Amino acid sequence: MSGRVADKVIGKYQSASCEQLWQQKGQPKSEEEQRAVQFLKNDPQARTAFINKVAAPIANKMFECGMIP
């Protein structure tokens, strides 16, 4: 599960404009996102694999958008 979720998250960040990411930042998570977060909280191994896969693409996009210094 974590591989598919990671790919979906990476795709969301890569296809979104900076403006879209800023708008989505404060919005509540969808039911699907909440379930995925709960799964990752309950499975440390899956969480580690997920974070290892999504960290670089998300951090790079956030940097490009001025969301992190």
* Structural domain count of the chain: 1
- For residue 21, the enclosing domain spans 2-64
Q: How confident is the model at residue 1 (pLDDT cuts 50, 70, 90)?
A: low
| pLDDT tens readout for residues 6-65 | 999 999 999 999 999 999 888 998 998 899 899 999 999 999 999 999 999 999 999 999
Structure tokens at 45: 């191994």
Residue with tokens 């598919």: 4
- Evaluate whether residue 40 is within a structural domain: yes
Is residue 69 one of the residues assigned to a domain?
no
In a domain, 39, yes or no: yes
Asked if 47 and 1 count as a contact pair (C-beta separation under 8 A), the reply is no
The pLDDT assigned to 46 comes to 93
* Cα 61 to Cα 13: distance, rounded to the nearest angstrom: 7
The band of 67, judged by pLDDT with boundaries at 50, 70 and 90, is very high
